[in-house]
Structure 1
Amino acid sequence: MAAVPSQADEALLDAVARGDHTAFATIYERHVRTVFRFALSLGISPRDVEDVTQEVFVVAFKKAARIRTADGSALPWLMVTCRNLSYAHLRKRAKDHANLDAGEHDVADPTASPESRALQAELSLTIAEAIGRLSPRDQELVHLCLDRGMTYRQAAHALGVTDGTVRNRLSRARAELRSSLRGAFREQGS
């Protein structure tokens, strides 16, 4: 049975678990741009964004039967997996940079100093960790409204909720992020 684009991700994942490649292609097409942009926002190098995005969907294909959806959507699971794989790439890059000889330079951004790159990577990790502590629904709202620039109305339509729900949840998510980031920066400063 061919997958229909309007099917919920949950039904598509069940089909993927049974070997339906068309269902997997539907999930991939539905979410690849969002996962790609999210990976890019996490501070990994542009050359690694494509690899991380591909890895997310390879893992999704392998674990389709065990993926838990949120309100029928696989996006929260994909985003958490993307975040985890991105962190792994950032840790690997940091380790690689630490092992570089003093005279070698990173070709990703030749104008940035090592300190600047390290601070940027640390800031990206801190922000991503703070977002990762939000509920999957709030992570999705942050992504839709803050990363993708959707209006409350557009996000409400995409999620099937009211504008007021988006406004309230996003306000609460922003407050949680501010509090979490303040705490992280206080810890780093001490």
Structure 2
Amino acid sequence: MPAQTSDQRRVAQAANGDERAFRELYREHVRPVYWIAHGLLGSAADAEDVTQETFVTAWRKLPGLELQGESLLPWLATICRFQAANRLRQRRRDRSHTTDEPDDAIPSTIDVEEQVITAALAARITAEIGTLNALDREIFRLCATEGYAYQAAAEELGVSHAIVRNRLSRVRTRLRGAVKEASGA
């Protein structure tokens, strides 16, 4: 039987009520979920709310989850899209009660093609991150996901500031290439 990925292990632990494992999943995936929400809603405040709602829903649904694949991100992205769609419907209802003119800037539905592209892009990024060596994955996790400064990440990992800076630059270039390849650009 193949070894479990860290997401698979933490999902199993969190599904059994381990809050520490869920906090680790949250820290690892909160930024990508936020940016998906922000891209759909165009509002930082709404994106923050939807991100929070996504993780509350995830916590509730984890006990019944059978994780398909190695990463939790595609599942979280799906929850996020549904939460964003709910937020957009709520905006329309709120506006219809406060003004006679509809706001054409708010889409009536989230485009299914956009959902598929977003999920595919998240899966591609996750797959690319999975091919990184252990040090590069940790540098990416600390700096890009958890928001560590280069020096703080360097101290955490026991390497130099220059190593963190250079390796993170290479990882970002690699991820940009994967994103361009996935989007067909």
Structure 1 length as normaliser, TM-score? 0.61
Query: SS of the residue aligned with 1:76?
Result: helix
Among candidates 138, 157, 168, match of residue 128 of structure 2: 157
Distance 2:183 2:65 in 1: 25
Mapping for residues 141-152 of structure 1, pairs under 5 Å: 144=125
Of 103, 106, 116, the residue aligned with 1:121 is: 106
Q: Aligned match of 1:140 in 110, 122, 147? A: 122
Instruction: Give unmatched runs, 5+ long, in structure 2.
Output: 133-173
What TM-score, normalized to structure 2? 0.62
User: Is the CA contact 1:16–1:64 (under 8 Å) kept in the aligned structure 2?
Assistant: yes
Closer/same/farther in 2, CA of residues 52 and 93 from structure 1, 3 Å limit: same
Aligned partners of 1:48, 1:67: CA distance in 2, in Å? 26
Contact 1:39/1:82 (8 A) holds in 2:
yes
Question: Match of 1:72, as an amino acid?
Answer: E
Counterpart selection for 2:32 from 27, 31, 34: 34
Partner of residue 114 from structure 2, selected from 119, 122, 131: 131
Return closer, same or farther for 1:58/1:131 CA change in 2, 3 Å cut-off.
same
Where in structure 1 do 4 or more consecutive aligned residues deviate above 3 Å? Answer: 133-136, 161-170
Q: Is the 8 A contact 2:33 2:51 kept in 1?
A: yes
Over aligned residues, Cα RMSD in angstroms? Answer: 3.3
Offset from partner CA, 1:148-179 (integer Å, 9 cap, x none): xxxxxxx76314399998766432xx7xxxxx
What per-residue deviation string (whole Å, max 9, x for no partner) do you get for residues 84-111 of structure 1? 0000010011011111144xxxxxxxxx
Alignment of 1:33-72 (within 5 A): 33-43=31-41, 45-72=43-70
Contact 1:132 1:139 in 2 (8 A): no
* Separation in 1, partners of 2:118, 2:97: 36
- 8 A Cα contact 2:7 2:70, kept in partner: yes
Q: Classify 1:67/1:170 alpha carbon distance in 2 versus 1 (closer, same or farther; 3 Å).
A: farther
Q: Which runs of 5+ in 1 are unaligned?
A: 1-5, 103-113, 145-154, 175-190
Q: Which residue is equivalent to 1:25? A: 23
Using the aligned pairs only, state the percent identity.
28
